[in-house]
Structure 1
């Protein structure tokens, strides 16, 4: 699955699962714009990719910032072929005790941030008649967990937004698909595995008996980013090793 000659924008590629996805795209020959707020955290990725990686300071809460990130891919590498809307936050706590501010932040980053990526990417991809957009959901979108109301709700909404957008742009040569990872050894998943109480609740649900690896998620993202996935559109692909409810 070669991605040589393709250019990707990955939000939140400076850490966690976003970094794993960016690494997978780079390994297959793509050029990557790391769209994130913290450039220092992106240093390992920048060192890995050399002149095929460009950092663009981006805040997905700001639609203008996201538009500039997409434009930077065209300006730096000549095109925008792939977008991975990965940036997200957790807002833990019971719904009745959650502050409106914490709820608003989760909605703004997880859901509106994804919308901003879709809105900015589609016109640029339409111009060329080709594009691959990948959004990020979670196994928790269909497996409610107490204390994760904002995360579960926003990720379920991302799945619906993905399906709608896929229908709207299919005729333009653009596919829009969603990855729904289970427990992964990067980012939020790593923090979950480190919490003995919560990990004890999750481990019996994992048919594979282990957390996933970042590169396993990256490999599926790379498939969705390439030519081979041309007839996969509007799909929510669970990558969880077999995870029960």
Structure 2
């Protein structure tokens, strides 16, 4: 129960990797606020963890919605100890035909959303009188394509590369407040876009050769890495990018 007594806010927390992280945090004793625009089937998870999981409608691109998220978390659980900036979208398209609307949507969700949530959580993490504890933790979710060119992913890759630099800057600025900021960079995971890739046999054979692990990652493996970054075991880890990609970046 490495996160017992801690409260985590997870954006995009009702499905995909966000839900996997929520499940991992709950298993370690945390209370979780799953923030998203759609609850999907999160009620089933809430029923299994009575009193420790709250769904909050949130649009991370909207400043007021983000403020309401933090208020709801504080009212329900007394504060916020962990923030996982996981909400993201992908609008694939080669630069020559990528629309301005798709570019703006991608940057607004993947980058501006991280900024708004990070700024809004500083107060709840540093409330006067709050028990000292291990300090706040912010985990930004990036992607393996943040540092690797991929055709048709100009907007998505640019947004995730920016998230990684924002992580480093945030770590420097928030360290005096006892808040550690790190980034989690998943590779091809058996969920969402990764699952769709594996379903395309021709495309999967092309990508599979780049993975030292010779398989897709499992969502729970990403959840385990998030638990590490959220807990006391990562007390000397700050401003870094933790890659969970099966050796993707090192394959021939």
Residues 15 and 40 in structure 2, CA contact (< 8 A), matched pair in contact too:
no
Question: 189-198 or 222-231, which moves further after superposition?
Answer: 189-198
CA deviation map 1:131-189 (0-9, x unaligned): 00000000011111101111111000000000000000111111000000000011221
Question: How far did 1:93 drift?
Answer: 1.0
Secondary structure of 2:109's counterpart equals helix
Ranges in structure 1 where 5+ consecutive residues have no aligned partner: none
Other-structure match for 2:105: 105
Residues 131 and 174 in structure 1, CA contact (< 8 A), matched pair in contact too:
yes
Name which of 133, 140, 144 aligns with 1:135.
140
How far apart, CA to CA, are the structure 1 residues paired with 2:48 and 2:63? 29
Secondary structure of 1:51's counterpart equals coil
Question: How far did 1:46 drift?
Answer: 2.2
Q: Does 1:16 align with 2:13?
A: no
Secondary structure of 1:156's counterpart equals helix
How far apart, CA to CA, are the structure 2 residues paired with 1:199 and 1:140? 16
1:1-245, aligned counterparts within 5 Å? 2-127=2-127, 128=130, 130-244=135-249
Question: TM-score, normalization: structure 1?
Answer: 0.96
Question: How far did 1:244 drift?
Answer: 3.3
How far apart, CA to CA, are the structure 2 residues paired with 1:38 and 1:174? 29
CA deviation map 1:39-84 (0-9, x unaligned): 2342333233222100111010101111111121110011210000
Secondary structure of 2:243's counterpart equals strand
How far apart, CA to CA, are the structure 1 residues paired with 2:45 and 2:109? 22
Question: 191-200 or 86-95, which moves further after superposition?
Answer: 191-200
RMSD between aligned alpha carbons? 1.3
Aligned residues: 245
Question: 189-198 or 214-223, which moves further after superposition?
Answer: 189-198
Secondary structure of 2:227's counterpart equals helix
Ranges in structure 2 where 5+ consecutive residues have no aligned partner: none
